[in-house]
Structure 1
Amino acid sequence: MGIKRKLFVTVLLAIAAMPLSAQSTVAHEIVKGNTIYSLAKEYGSTVEAINEANPNIGVRSLVIGETLMIPIPKDTLVNQDVDSQVPNQSNTQAPEYEVYLVKRKDTPESLTASWGLPDVEAFFTLNPDARIQWSKGMALVKPANAAAMAFKTPTNSKETNDTTASLGNDIHVACILPFFLDQYVNEGPGRKRSELSFSYRQGVELAIEEFTKDSSLVIDVQFFDSMNQRDTVQGIVQGLITNQPDLVLGPMYSSRLMQLKGTPLEELAVNLISKQESVRNTGLWNDVVSEDVFWSAIKSFHDLPQQQDTANDSTVVLPRKLLVVGINSGKSAKASRYLINDLEAEEYLLIEGDNSWIHNEQLAALDSTIGYDLVITENDPAYILDVLRNLRSVNLDYHWYTHEYQALDNGLVSSVFARETVHMFNANFTDYDREESTEFIREFRNRFERHPDRMAIEGYDNAKFHLLRLTQGTTSWRGVRKGFSFENASRENSFVEMRSFKNLRWELQQ
């Protein structure tokens, strides 16, 4: 079931489509650069007449290769040199349509056959809403004569957006979220995730409202429930291919995101929250900063010449060494090798072992005359605490360099960081010192009468950035919570900032 913010009523277009008096029609195959306005001007017709003769285009953009019926006055001369113009005889029928109400046993496939349409795609071209909702009594557009069926079904081409080079003043956004509507109503297990999706939707709604407030843009957003039995992702994808949007936010889960791979929607879609490696090997816009980016930032920071703190002249400055601790297999081993690559043996100390963690006991015997820059490459919170327990058992000078997936997403509480000097590399952090954050919270509470949660902020940031990218060419932007950096035509977010834990809070380091 599709959840719409803006309703297009195709039935009204069908009712309005009456045979045109004192007119003949020309079949025109759409080519790049065509718009309804340019066709009306070229043929001496009107936008209203073309829309009436082709009710199937009332809810979407033109599609290259599609055939439109162009009504023209009988006394209008048609330029015979234009290949795409095929004038009909003066007695050619104008397309006629009628309203059909869905019956209990009707299906798109059965109506396609009974109406004599060439295939089910032709049915959905006339009735795009039928892809996302289907119920007894639903009004459909039905061809009433042969001329009404004489159009081509749009092909699934990546060049299917409206044929003008720019977006114009209308932007169409599709947002695919797991609302779990059936389970939500029945208090099922999907309820909690459904509530998170509705929070995300509220963030998207607010971003669009703010974006259009001071501009001439018209942004239409349509929401889909990817967990509803009717709204299978495959069905949603097929519907969106016909009515191709400018931006697709979601789906959320990697298995459903991968269903967009290889479709015309792949390069329009955004990965919102999935950290799965498979998502990175696609044409999707990947808003999630990968762990590899954080390791790269930590390595680059460590390789920089470090300025010593001279505020206290009595402080003894110790020589420092990179201390890498982890498991000798899997992603931990890969990260450890990356961090020590290109370093001389005397510049680092690598302590790693198997899943027994017995190797961590070596930390209690480290040389206390050396300062250590600690990096833990295993993300298991219990492992991290075991490393810190061993280090705390002796008097050592060490700084811990971590990232948000360890420090913020692992369930570690703030008291863990109070006993060390901790520096965190992150891409997501709601900083209440920023004016943008307090302004967003104020607007959100006024609009929805509640405090925004994490998902609401994510929805706001993701929608706002990608609208900026589409309309202004923005490649880098810091939202309320999330940062974005898509430099050098990359589709991988590489935004990173550094924060240090001071005064029981994470403070941004310039």
Structure 2
Amino acid sequence: MGIENMKYVKLLLIIGFLTFTVSCGQQKGYIQYRVKTGETMISIAEKLKMSPKDLLRLNPDFNENLKPNSFIVVPENKYDLFKNQQIKNGVVIEEIESTPEKNILIDKAKVTAKLFENFEVYEVVKGDTFYSLERRFGVSIDELLLLNPELKEGLKEGSILKIKEFQNEKELQKEIVVRNSSYNDYIKLNKSLKVSLLLPFRGDIYNYDSISPRDIFQKNTLANIATDLYLGAEFAVDSLRKRGIDIEFSIYDTGARKSNGISKIIYEQNLNNNDLIIGPLYSEEAQLLASRVNVPIIFPLYSSNQSEFNNPNIITASPDKKIFKNELIRYIKNNFSRGNLIIVSDQSEVSNSIKNALNTAILQSSITILTPENGVIEKSRFLQILRPNTNNWIVFATNNEVTVSDAINSLISLPSEIKTNVFAFDKGSVYDKIDNIKLAKIGFTYVSEEFVDGTSDSSKIFNKAYLSKNNAIPTLYATKGFDITYDILIRLASGKKLSTTFKEGASIRVVNKFDFINKGSFQNEGLFILQMNEDLTLSKLK
């Protein structure tokens, strides 16, 4: 079963356990049906009084012809509607087998999970080559082909590869290793916590009896984000329970934006009984919630409006974009010595502000501003400034696709004796459209709130454990959901106030760094400086 379909079943479970503002319940929305000899999708659909098309959408991994004793998913309300009624050829609906929600996943998914359980896995991204995979993971092409015969047809973006089998004891341990920075995790004996997750699952707008995974997850970004954040948060709660923390975990569907869903939750639920609230996703809802409850509220994803937060109960998990520039300028000040520093920008005021910010540490004569002429920056203009055997640092202070693409093409074609390092405030969408091989060639360095180190023990163990539980590789949103939930809950488990633990130091979890500063509301300023290497791996410079 594909990752998309696994996520679909998980979302069905979430929605099946939620009413609009009620946390996890006991009712099941979907159950399994064991296929009998001679049955087809059409005949089963007739029994359930569904259209074959709707039943196929609910089971995208199956076609019209089914194998006996395989399992498909059917709506439980269809079962309840026709229970105990005689159907064609003496077959009765009560032969449908209902399973507990944790076992509702189709057998095929379990087989897939078992297949990958003992392997390090990797999702192919744009720019990957056999050479880069060899360098990154220390495996040969022959070894990759042995585990992944489909590679004979070449690398395909988005495909999942088995890299190598876990062998040593450290890789096989069950407990997830979570990296620390300066904050020391401490769990108070017999600590109990109550946490609520508020996300827009939008269960009110979907007819899950007839909608396909493709319709949900490829056409609705919000469904992807909410489901992944939930899966990551749930995984963090499970991990901390194994460490002895008693956690009560509730989930609420906030519904559509500006639908008064959050107001209804506030009115109907006593949220002040919580030790922590994660969500909602929208800034105006977070501010409304903070004005009504006296509980720490984690605002999980970045919003351009988060700089307006001034309630000490709101904790922003994603750093504000304004501090990305400050972080890069600070790094350049501390590390640039002699050489050439070029600022590429299409706005003179932006360039001058950066130049002025650097002038206390770097000689003004070393800084040159280049702006496009007729939309481009010719290679000859770089050659007039750049020199061999010296530092040539180039800061891109623009996100104009044409300017960035043209400048990078000029830089990668420079004479080999001229070495450059290109810096950007973040790796935004404009750089995602550029081949990673090109970025690696120019030593592309950028500021990021995430550092995905697929070679670290903590990442390997986390990915393996998450895959075993959810039959899917964790996305960045799922990992973020884990990191946020794990970090704040383990701080609360110390028995201290959150504000006290924030003063005790920053923390690094699986991919995120948390360094909370009180600026009216608590804001995370934990950032990394990352550099892309020629083998397409990333190095953490800071």
TM-score band, normalised by shorter chain:
0.5 to 0.7
What residue identity is the alignment partner of 2:392? Y
The answer as to whether partners of 1:322 and 1:373 remain within 8 angstroms in 2 is: yes
Is 1:321 matched with 2:340? yes
Aligned position for 2:436: 414
Count of residues paired in the alignment: 339
Q: Which residue of 2 aligns with 1:476?
A: 506
1:298-357: CA deviations, max 9, x gaps?
A: 2222222558xxxxxxxxxxx412211113268676556544566442131123469x63
From the superposition, tell whether residues 2 and 230 of structure 1 become closer, same or farther in structure 2 (CA, over 3 Å): farther
> Is contact 1:336–1:377 with CA below 8 Å preserved after alignment?
no
Structure 1 contact 6–222 (Cα < 8 Å) conserved:
no
Q: Which residue pairs with 1:4 in the alignment?
A: 23
Counterpart-to-counterpart distance in 2, 1:409 and 1:238: 45
CA distance in 2, matches of 1:450, 1:305: 41
Deviations 1:256-310 (A, max 9, x none): 3343354435x62122112314445333211112233332222222222558xxx
For residues 124-158 of structure 1, give each alpha carbon's deviation from its aligned partner in whole angstroms, at most 9, with x where no partner exists: xxxxxxxxxxxxxxxxxxxxxxxxxxxxxxxxxxx
Give yes or no for contact 2:283–2:305 (8 Å, CA) kept in 1.
Answer: no
- Would you say 1:387 and 2:387 are equivalent positions? no
Match of 1:453 in 2: 475
* 1:201 equivalent among 230, 239, 255: 230
Instruction: Give the match's secondary structure for 1:400.
Output: strand
Paired residue for 2:193? 171
CA deviation vs aligned residue, 1:399-425 (integer Å, no higher than 9, x gap): 112244338974443123132122233
2:289 is the counterpart of 1:270: no
- What's 2:285 paired with? 256
Q: How far 1:436 sits from its partner (Å)?
A: 1.5
Question: Which residues of structure 2 form unaligned runs of 5+?
Answer: 1-19, 27-187, 495-500
Displacement after TM superposition at 1:467 (Å):
0.7
**CA deviation after TM superposition for structure 1 residue 371, in Å:** 3.8
Find the aligned partners of 2:270 and 2:349 in 1 and give their Cα distance: 39
Kindly indicate whether the alpha-carbon contact (under 8 Å) linking 1:170 and 1:220 is maintained by their aligned counterparts in 2. no
Q: Are the counterparts in 2 of residues 181 and 225 from structure 1 also a CA contact under 8 Å?
A: no
Q: Counterpart in 1 of 2:325?
A: 295
Once the two structures are TM-superposed, the CA of residue 171 in structure 1 deviates from its matched residue by 1.9
* CA deviation string 1:197-253 (max 9, x = no partner): 122211111100111112142333323233289761222234456544221211223
Contact 1:363 / 1:390 at 8 angstroms: preserved in 2? no
Offset from partner CA, 1:448-496 (integer Å, 9 cap, x none): 2222222211111111111123223364221212111125787121112
Of 414, 422, 444, which residue of structure 1 is paired with 2:466? 444
Query: Measured at CA, do residues 450 and 394 of structure 1 come closer, stay the same or move farther in structure 2, by a change above 3 Å?
Result: closer
Question: 1:200–1:458: 8 Å Cα contact kept in structure 2?
Answer: yes
Letter in 1 for 2:197: C
Q: Aligned partners of 1:281 and 1:225: how far apart in 2?
A: 20
Does residue 377 in structure 1 map to residue 397 in structure 2? yes
1:393 and 1:242 mapped to 2: Cα distance? Answer: 59
> Given that residues 280 and 286 in structure 1 are in contact (C-alpha distance below 8 angstroms), is that contact kept between their aligned partners in structure 2?
no
Does 1:214 find its partner at 2:254? Answer: no
Relative to structure 1, the CA distance from residue 342 to residue 368 in structure 2 (aligned partners, 3 Å threshold; closer, same or farther) is closer
> Residue 327 of structure 1 aligns to a residue in which SS?
coil
**How do 1:75-474 residues align onto structure 2 when only pairs under 5 Å count?**
169-185=191-207, 187=211, 191-227=220-256, 232-240=261-269, 243-260=272-289, 262-264=291-293, 268-283=296-311, 284-304=314-334, 319-328=338-347, 335=354, 337-340=356-359, 343-352=362-371, 357-358=375-376, 363-364=381-382, 366-369=384-387, 371-392=391-412, 394-395=414-415, 396-406=418-428, 410-472=432-494, 473=501
Secondary structure of the structure 1 residue equivalent to 2:523: coil
3-state secondary structure, aligned to 1:181: coil
Aligned partner of 2:530 in structure 1 is 499
Tell me: CA distance 1:335–1:2, structure 2 relative to 1, closer, same or farther (3 Å): farther
Matches of 1:330 and 1:270 in 2, distance apart? 35
Shift of the 252–383 alpha-carbon distance from structure 1 to 2, 3 Å rule, reads farther
The 1-side partners of 2:280 and 2:446 are apart by 29
Q: Cα RMSD (Å) of the superposition?
A: 3.5
Secondary structure class of the residue paired with 1:4: coil
Moved more, 184-193 or 213-222: 184-193
Q: How does the TM-score come out when normalised to structure 1?
A: 0.58
RCO greater where, 1 or 2, for CA within 8 Å and sep 6 or more? Answer: 2
Q: Do the aligned partners of 1:252 and 1:273 also contact (CA within 8 Å) in 2?
A: yes
Contact map agreement 1:375 1:402 (CA 8 A) in 2: yes
Counterparts of 1:468 and 1:371 in 2: how far apart (Å)?
A: 44
Structure 1 CA distance for aligned equivalents of residues 454 and 468 of structure 2: 18
Distance 1:361 1:423 in 2: 21
Secondary structure in 1 aligned to 2:302?
coil
Question: Structure 1 or 2: larger helix share?
Answer: 2
Flag the 1:256–1:243 CA change in 2: closer, same or farther, 3 A.
closer
How far apart are the structure 1 equivalents of 2:247 and 2:199? 22
TM-score (normalizing by structure 2): 0.55
The CA deviation at 1:193 is: 2.4
Equivalent position SS for 2:385: coil
CA, structure 1 residues 412+333, in 2 after alignment: closer, same or farther (shift >3 Å)? farther
Equivalents in 2 of 1:216, 1:390: separation in Å? Answer: 56
Match of 2:185 in 1: none
